[in-house]
């Protein structure tokens, strides 16, 4: 299939810009924009300012760091736009986020998390270089490359870069409501997704939602010595374990009929598409860190992908 000339020219420009794009990513990744409580919120604001500057450098007509009205504890958003395609052209909204997770234990890092480093495998390592500051850079340099190659974008483009995705996007709905008109668009593209494997371009067509539930089991109003009271007195951890054990069956299937029934089925075309995707079980196990003897749910690559992308799942993320 012949590639349209504007796309071909844009890809040529983008290839030439790759070293500059990698450096721009490193600049963003040096900012410790951890949005979790207990970390410096000023770093998240510095990150927002750096994202704003990058978007303007790459050709957006306007970009602003925007705070949520009435929420002094909210981290800042970045909103930008290029409206040169005209009022009759469709509008594309691009979403990414610039906040990151805490780096965890320094001893688990081969190189400092906020000093982006190209290691021996040729890849850049650092907190946020993938999730999701790479998404910011991809959008910015795609815009720049198209503008450099053709002089104008084929559609109007708006950008929103969030500062709270890693803490659950608690203020996003309010922000969207406050800025509904400015962010109105015909199509939305998110960069906070993943490619199937390195070197294989991928487009994510759907994402599962998320519900967090805290379960507290209380049996006693003060601690007791198990040797003196164990037996007749109920044990809260054991009760909690029984609750958790009933969430899934021995095959890893969700044991809550109402939740399983809500899952949309796959069309035959979707099943065929999943079956055509490459799947290396050994590589998958290694990437996930499965220990020897741990069983992977899914009889085939297609079923594994269906479980990942289309079926509901239940995971216990913390015990206290």
Q: Mind telling me the catalytic residues? A: 99, 165
| Rounded Cα–Cα distance for residues 247 and 257 (Å) | 10
**Structure token digits, residue 174:** 């309010």
CA 176 to chain CA mean position, Å = 18
One DSSP character per residue, 21-58 reads HHHHHHHHHTS--B-STTS-HHHHHHHHHHHHHHHHHT
Contact 94, 160 (CB under 8 A): yes
| Rounded Cα–Cα distance for residues 124 and 117 (Å) | 5
| Rounded Cα–Cα distance for residues 84 and 113 (Å) | 39
Burial of 124 (0-12, 13-18, 19+ CB in 10 A): middle
């Amino acid at each position: 299939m012949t590639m349209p000339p504007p796309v071909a020219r844009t890809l040529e420009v983008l290839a030439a810009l790759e070293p500059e794009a990698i450096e721009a990513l490193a600049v963003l990744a040096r900012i410790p924009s951890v949005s979790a409580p207990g970390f410096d919120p000023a770093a998240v604001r510095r990150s927002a300012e750096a994202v704003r500057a990058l978007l303007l450098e790459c050709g957006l007509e306007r970009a602003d760091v925007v705070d949520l009205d009435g929420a002094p504890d909210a981290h800042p958003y970045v909103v930008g736009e290029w409206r040169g395609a005209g009022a009759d052209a469709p509008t594309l909204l691009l979403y990414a986020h610039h906040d990151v997770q805490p780096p965890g234990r320094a001893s688990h890092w081969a190189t400092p998390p906020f000093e982006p480093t190209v290691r021996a495998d040729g890849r850049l390592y650092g907190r946020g270089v993938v999730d999701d500051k790479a998404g910011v850079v991809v959008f910015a340099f795609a815009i720049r490359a198209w503008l450099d190659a053709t002089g104008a974008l084929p559609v109007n483009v708006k950008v929103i870069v969030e500062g709270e995705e890693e803490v659950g996007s608690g203020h996003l709905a309010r922000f969207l409501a406050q800025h509904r008109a400015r962010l109105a668009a015909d199509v939305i593209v998110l960069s906070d997704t993943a490619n199937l494997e390195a070197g294989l371009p991928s487009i994510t067509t759907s994402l599962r939602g998320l519900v967090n539930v805290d379960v507290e089991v209380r049996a006693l109003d003060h601690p007791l010595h198990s040797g003196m009271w164990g037996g007749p007195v109920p044990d809260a951890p054991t009760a909690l374990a029984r609750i958790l054990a009933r969430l899934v069956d021995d095959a890893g299937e969700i044991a809550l009929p109402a939740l399983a029934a809500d899952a949309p089925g796959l069309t035959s075309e979707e099943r065929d598409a999943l079956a055509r995707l490459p799947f290396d079980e050994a590589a998958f196990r290694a990437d996930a860190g499965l220990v020897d003897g741990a069983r992977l749910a899914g009889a085939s690559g297609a079923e594994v992908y269906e479980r990942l992308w289309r079926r509901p799942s239940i995971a216990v993320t913390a015990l206290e």
